[in-house]
Chains A and B, each alone.
Chain A
Amino acid sequence: MLCDKYKDALSEAAASSAPLPSGVSQHMSSCVHCRELFAAQQSVFALVDTGLRSRANAIVPGNFEHRVRAALESEAAQDRKRGPAVPAWCSLAAAMLMAIVLILNLKHGGKEAGATYVAESKLLTSQQAPVHSSNSVGLDMPARPYSRGSSLRISRQPKASVRLHDEPEVLVPHGQEELLAKYMQGMATRRPRVTLSAGLQQEESTKAVEVPAIEISELVVTPLSDLSSN
């Protein structure tokens, strides 16, 4: 019972390798049991330290660094091929921005579809083919059909309204809606020459080129063989 109160102090001293307190050392000088216990504790801690040291100080293989350098070389080569890395947050931000723009577009388009775009599309008759007048500034000619390469897409008419009115979707450069409407009216009344000037302030001096309508009265089809025999 007397030894029990020294037990903790003994194990603490063995663990920390600190000198024993004077009271404990006095007791130990007279108690064989405590001396044995302390020696056992010390040997356990010595074993622990030896085990840890052997575990932690393994011999590094000679070719380890060489192998890592080789792996680094191939990694660096891949880096060079890949080019500059785009940080993950950049892609995430871009995706979020696109999503926000899409949502805003949808909301905005939904609100204005009934007002602006449907009103614009009403100007066109349902027989007219879809046109795109992206580069027809100042030219008296029908606009080209929408091509994929073009970056201009003004009309944001939702599908619902297209179905409702059965009118073609029209791609019009900004600020040329009225001109296009006039042009379309001209087409409807079979007046082929309606000036489609851009309406841009800086190009007011530009005169529209007037091209007379081509008239083909009769079309004669002759086979090539007939032409060569003649």
Chain B
Amino acid sequence: MQELVLIQPIRAAEDEWSREAAHAAKRREFEERLAECGSLAYRVARGVLRNDADAEDVAQEALLRAYRRFDRLRDAQRFRGWLVRIVFRLALDRARSVKRRERRETEWAQPARRASPPTAEELAASSEFQALFDRALEELPEKLRLALLLAAMEGHTLEEVAAMLNLPVGTVKSRLFAGRKKLAEKLQCYVTNTKTR
């Protein structure tokens, strides 16, 4: 007895065409989303990383990941929130690895990382504040940080942030409140010190 395999060439070609068509449709749909949410992805990454090149890399990687898993997204309305979560997670991973790398580098080479501009007092104060603010933001819990970043983006209402995070508006409000308060506590010393100077 021998195994017989039935091959239907026309059917195979049809399958191929339908696959091609599905790919094209997926890509078209995704490109529409990209035009709509590309800048959001970049801004979330930039908000976490504070570095343009890293943010661009991470946002691109996140968008590619989203494209690969686009079929699995059942509710197209949730694309923004889904993308934001992917970007945020990737950006956090990148930030951690950058921090590890920086630590390694500073262990080997001792020179100061950032020399503050020596002349303008204003500028120095501003960069000092930025550094302090960055540190304070990094120390915040992730869920507070993401809520703060999304809410601070132009054009985002509370309802939109809640929809993106898939949370009730009340929860988002309380996260924003808690986040701002923690940041303020950390920056309080800086403000009082600069006022007494």
On chain A, the residues within 8 Å of B50 by CB distance are 55
The number of chain B residues with a CB under 8 A from chain A is 48
On chain A, the residues within 8 Å of B130 by CB distance are 51
Residue of A14, A48, A75, A80 near B20 (CB, 8 A) is A80
On chain A, the residues within 8 Å of B55 by CB distance are 58
* Contact (Cβ within 8 A) B43 A56: yes
Interface stretch (choices A36-44, A91-99, A159-167, A222-230)? A36-44
Interface assignment of B67: CB less than 8 Å from any CB of chain A: yes
On chain B, the residues within 8 Å of A84 by CB distance are 19
Beyond A15-B184, A58-B43, is A68–B2 a contact (Cβ under 8 Å)? no
List which A40-85 residues lie within 8 A (CB) of chain B.
40-41, 43-45, 47-49, 51-53, 55-58, 60-61, 64-65, 67-69, 71-72, 75-76, 79-80, 83-84
* Contact (Cβ within 8 A) A64 B59: yes
On chain A, the residues within 8 Å of B181 by CB distance are 11, 15
Number of CB contacts from chain A to chain B under 8 A: 124
Residue of A44, A52, A67 near B149 (CB, 8 A) is A52
Other than A51-B130, A76-B23, give 8 A-B pairs with Cβ distance below 8 A. A11-B184, A44-B184, A47-B133, A56-B153, A57-B43, A67-B56, A68-B60, A71-B63
Q: Which 8 A-B residue pairs are closest in the complex by CB-CB distance? A: A56-B152, A52-B152, A58-B46, A51-B133, A151-B3, A60-B39, A44-B184, A48-B183
6 contacts between A and B (CB under 8 A): A44-B187, A52-B149, A52-B152, A80-B20, A135-B1, A152-B1
